[in-house]
Amino acid sequence: MAGVSVQAFRRQGRRFGAGLVCSEMVSCAGLHHGNERTLGYLRIAADEHPLAVQIFGSEPALMAEAARMVEDAGADIVDINFGCPVRKVTKTGAGATLLEDGDRACRIVEAVAGAVQAPVSVKMRRGLEDGSRSCLEVGPRLVDAGAASLTLHPRSARQMYTGTADHSLTAEFVDRVDVPVIACGDITSRARAQAVLATTGAEAVMVGRGAQGNPWVLREIVDGAEAEPTREEVAAELILFVRETARELGERRASGFLKKFYGWYLGRGRFPRQFKQELVRLETTDEVVERLLVAAPGAAGLLERLEAEQPSVDDALLELPVSIYGGG
């Protein structure tokens, strides 16, 4: 969810029924060196709670320092990433690589758990290679080191996001550890969530890619509500998301960041395919909003209600450069 789970995405998730939301992964090295963009990930709005902030790195001391920083910023849970399969992360010894270095993984969890009062959770994959069962060995050790809960995405790092998540492994994993397990991977409907919970014994499910441009799936999973929105509802939610993201990131950064979201929102047969390309070519977020309102005039009233109900942002006051609050 790197490059996706910004504040606007998390606040939307909470509004649609998510019991817990999580930040995109935050580099402990970036926090240590005071990188401005990395520090910006620690902006937390009052209506995001409960919120987990996820950190990644390979050095126990730096991870402990990062954990203290995210707790001070207001995180309710400190989450450790042992699952990222992307090469630029794994080549540094972080992310999914740590599933093959159990001793270092345990030292990291122990250092983080000893540095904060907040519960520590760990997000992990099954292992680096297809068919790996490393998680079954490492999981109990992470609990002994101080992890209060574990999230398993039962794909290998090599798989990235291809194939299917093997939740039979999740069931084995649940039997191996005595802390709550969250099942992640291919949770795209209420029926699928119920099946995974019933067959694995997991305490909860985590929704990631399934909610990209589709927050309605969260409401369906939680209470069984109709998942498919009207065109006007789609346009209103996208406009609110665009405006909130521009507020958070600034117009210049947001205009490029948002382009991938247009396809996510407008796909699934909701709008003609060429409409997405039309939005991508527009230069400003104001132009995007204007074009959406032309395409779905009925969205204006829905948008007005959504904005009236949206709590004002009360970001945690961090000792950050002024330019972060000025838009990135």
Which of 22, 84, 106, 135 is labelled catalytic?
A: 84
Are 234 and 265 in contact by the 8 Å Cβ rule? The answer is: yes
Give the closest residue to 11 by CA, choosing from 60, 45, 42, 43.
Answer: 45
Cα distance between the two ends of the chain: 19
Give the closest residue to 94 by CA, choosing from 82, 104, 106.
Answer: 82
Token pair 């972060």: residue: 324
Dihedral sign, Cα of residue 96, residue 97, residue 99, residue 102: negative
Are 105 and 99 in contact by the 8 Å Cβ rule? The answer is: yes
Q: How far apart are CA 234 and CA 228, in angstroms?
A: 9
Output phi, psi for 90, to 5 deg. -65, -30
The token pair that represents 123 in the structure block: 């997000």
Q: What's the one-letter identity of residue 104?
A: R
Are 237 and 299 in contact by the 8 Å Cβ rule? The answer is: no
Q: What's the one-letter identity of residue 183?
A: A
CB atoms within 10 A of CB 300: 14
> Quick check: is 22 catalytic?
no
Residues serving a catalytic function are 84
